[in-house]
Structure 1
Amino acid sequence: MLLALLLCGAVGAGAAEMTDTRMLVPVGHTVGIKLFSRGVVVVKLSEGGTPAKAGGLQTGDVIVKCAGNSVTSTEQFQSLLQKSGGETTDLQVKRDGSSVTLSVEPEQNERGVYGIGAWIRDSMAGIGTMTYYDPATGAFGALGHGIADVDTAQLMPFSNGSILPSTVKAVKKGESGAAGELRGDFDLTGDLGDLYANTSNGIFGILEADDYSPVLGDAVPVGRAQTGPAVIRSNVQGDTVEEFDIEIVSVTSTGSDGRDMVISVKDPDLISATGGIVQGMSGSPILQDGQLVGAVTHVLLNSPQKGYGISIQRMLATAESVA
């Protein structure tokens, strides 16, 4: 299975200050990720007059109930529409954080199947990079940004999910105006751990460490990023995690959406292999002076050797707030 849906989003050295004595393993290995939404996401409305449009349904809405029944998957939602027999049916929808109730009248197509003229999605899968593992708790964080629906660009409403072993099979190099990507294989039956949250600052879960121990190294202290030389740990070929030289160009305390720092790739080997930062590298841990200070999040489309990173403090604070 070749997927890379979980992107890096496309848009002098000083000693890093210790913020506490917390010790984390900077992982840097890709993982397969599968995520299931709470309800179903409306990703597109059919052309012309449809029951969905007549009822006020919009792209990006999340249908959480149909005729009073909780919606758990696309198949189950379609089954509920069939039971309606074309009668007016209430839909409970989440829109921009609010709950809205709409009424639709499903129509039968030429095959006798009832529908409302909306394309819906209940899950996503792809690859990304694990940032850290906490040996004290078994918790992990990855990506440094959330998993967004590929069509609506909205954060997928989280129900459950898991991570899987992944191997990088190929790389599409990035170039100005076009993001590159890691292409990996992963086994949908080989769960390594469960997710408990999908947030704008990363995905978080609990790792079955025994199954992943071959790629876990030693724990390092948590630090605070400063401008200057640093390295990232990343898996851009096979199962190998390597360290690559970067520079932290700037750091801000007011960043948002994974933009706490601007980074620039300096390592000729990484530039030769990937062109810079590519999709699938999201979550690659950033280390400075032997301390974990953040993770890669976004690539600059017009300059793939540059991108953004999120501070490890922001990731950890988010992980704790949703745990």
Structure 2
Amino acid sequence: MYGPFQKARHVLRGGAALVLALLLCAAMPARAAGVTAGGADQDTSARMLVPVGHTVGIKLFARGVMVVKAPESGTPADDCGLQTGDIIVKCGGVSVTSSEQFQSLLQENGETATDLQVRREGGSVTLSVSPEQNEKGAYCIGAWIRDSMAGIGTMTYYDPESGAFGALGHGITDADTALLMPFASGSILPSTVKAVKKGAIGEAGELRGDFDLATDLGDLYANTTSGVFGTLDPGEFTERLGDPMPVAAAGEVHAGPATILSNVEGDAVQEYDVEILQVVENAADGRDLVISVTDPELLAATGGIVQGMSGSPILQDGKFAGAVTHVLLNDPSKGYGILVETMLAAGDFSEEPVA
């Protein structure tokens, strides 16, 4: 699979699973850098992590299926009150696990009115829908849905003591609804960068690569606004990673020279010069740092920050400071980053307890 924007879409009338590739380095309009985001310093003085910077394939499966487009007027989905952003978690009392399985449940029920349990804005509602037959004889409700996503992004850190990793520095959101994809399961895969579409003013660039859907490097356990998190399986990939380095506390990160680790060609991770222009206090949206790419080699190769670089580690003064998260559409040489402290807080909080 190539590129973070390749997608296939199917309306739920014949009922195929909808798969959409990830947006793995969010493109942001320019705005004042003095926004608020970040948090109180944590005690990270003893934390040692491996900064990774290598691209990985990421596949994520949703919990239930998401309605990604407002149902057309007069369809059963519209008549029953389904809305964009709704998550269908049960159909006729049976848990929904995929688009195909949901379509099968509709076929079993036929034209019989069926209860749908839906998560909406943090609450739960029950709707009654009466499917209709389409021209092919399949029972359908006329809703556009999504149950999975796949694409390429960058792994930020690896903890050799626990086997945990963090990637992206922001969550995987649905491209149509901009909502965080409800997480059920997922994994990461080996990836190699094949080409780069350079960024330009008004148009984000992207890394283009491929990954093997049949090979898993590890499992995901969370999709959060501060990144995706999981555990790596010991093997060739972990053996090729570098040495751990100390994590910088938020108060140690400052405006000035820094570097990023990124994989923008083939299988190689290289270190490139950047400048931290501003550290934004009390940020809550992955914009703890305002950064500018200054490395001539990276600017020549990518034009700056491109989609797929999201998660590239930021290093400063011999410590692990953060990760790249967003690119500015009106100046691809500049963007935002998240403090690694913020990622760790999200990853540690979300981690499933060990039995």
TM over 0.5: yes
Query: Over residues 203-236 of structure 1, what are the superposed CA-to-partner deviations in whole Å (9 max), with x where a residue is unaligned?
Result: 0000013231354001100013211000000000
Give the structure 1 partner of residue 96 of structure 2: 71
Normalized per residue, the structure richer in strand is 1
The one-letter code matched in structure 2 to 1:143 is L
The one-letter code matched in structure 2 to 1:254 is N
The one-letter code matched in structure 2 to 1:203 is V
Mapped partners of 1:39, 1:99: distance in 2: 13
CA pair 291-18 structure 1, distance change in 2 beyond 3 A: farther
TM-score (normalizing by structure 2): 0.88
Mapped partners of 1:126, 1:184: distance in 2: 9
Deviation at 1:47, TM superposition (A): 3.1
The one-letter code matched in structure 2 to 1:65 is K
- Is 2:276 aligned against 1:248? yes
Percent identical: 69
SS in 1 for 2:176: coil
Q: Is this contact kept in 1: 2:71–2:82, CA < 8 A? A: no
- Is 2:84 aligned against 1:59? yes
Q: Is this contact kept in 2: 1:27–1:215, CA < 8 A? A: no
Mapped partners of 1:168, 1:141: distance in 2: 20
Q: Of the candidates 285, 295, 300, which is equivalent to residue 272 of structure 1?
A: 300
TM-score (normalizing by structure 1): 0.96
Deviation at 1:46, TM superposition (A): 4.5
Give the structure 1 partner of residue 36 of structure 2: none
Give the structure 2 partner of residue 14 of structure 1: none
Mapped partners of 2:200, 2:3: distance in 1: 20
Q: Is this contact kept in 1: 2:261–2:313, CA < 8 A? A: yes
Q: Of the candidates 188, 195, 209, which is equivalent to residue 170 of structure 1?
A: 195
Q: Is this contact kept in 2: 1:29–1:215, CA < 8 A? A: no
Deviation at 1:22, TM superposition (A): 0.8
Q: Of the candidates 320, 331, 337, which is equivalent to residue 303 of structure 1?
A: 331
Mapped partners of 2:234, 2:301: distance in 1: 30
Deviation at 1:85, TM superposition (A): 1.5
Give the structure 2 partner of residue 3 of structure 1: 3
Mapped partners of 1:113, 1:45: distance in 2: 21
- Is 2:256 aligned against 1:228? yes
SS in 1 for 2:45: strand
Q: Is this contact kept in 2: 1:286–1:293, CA < 8 A? A: yes
The one-letter code matched in structure 2 to 1:177 is G
Deviation at 1:279, TM superposition (A): 0.2
Give the structure 2 partner of residue 281 of structure 1: 309
Q: Is this contact kept in 1: 2:116–2:126, CA < 8 A? A: yes
Stretches of structure 1 that go unaligned for 5 or more consecutive residues are: 12-16
Give the structure 1 partner of residue 11 of structure 2: none
Q: Is this contact kept in 2: 1:145–1:258, CA < 8 A? A: yes
Mapped partners of 1:56, 1:46: distance in 2: 9
Q: RMSD of aligned C-alpha atoms?
A: 1.3
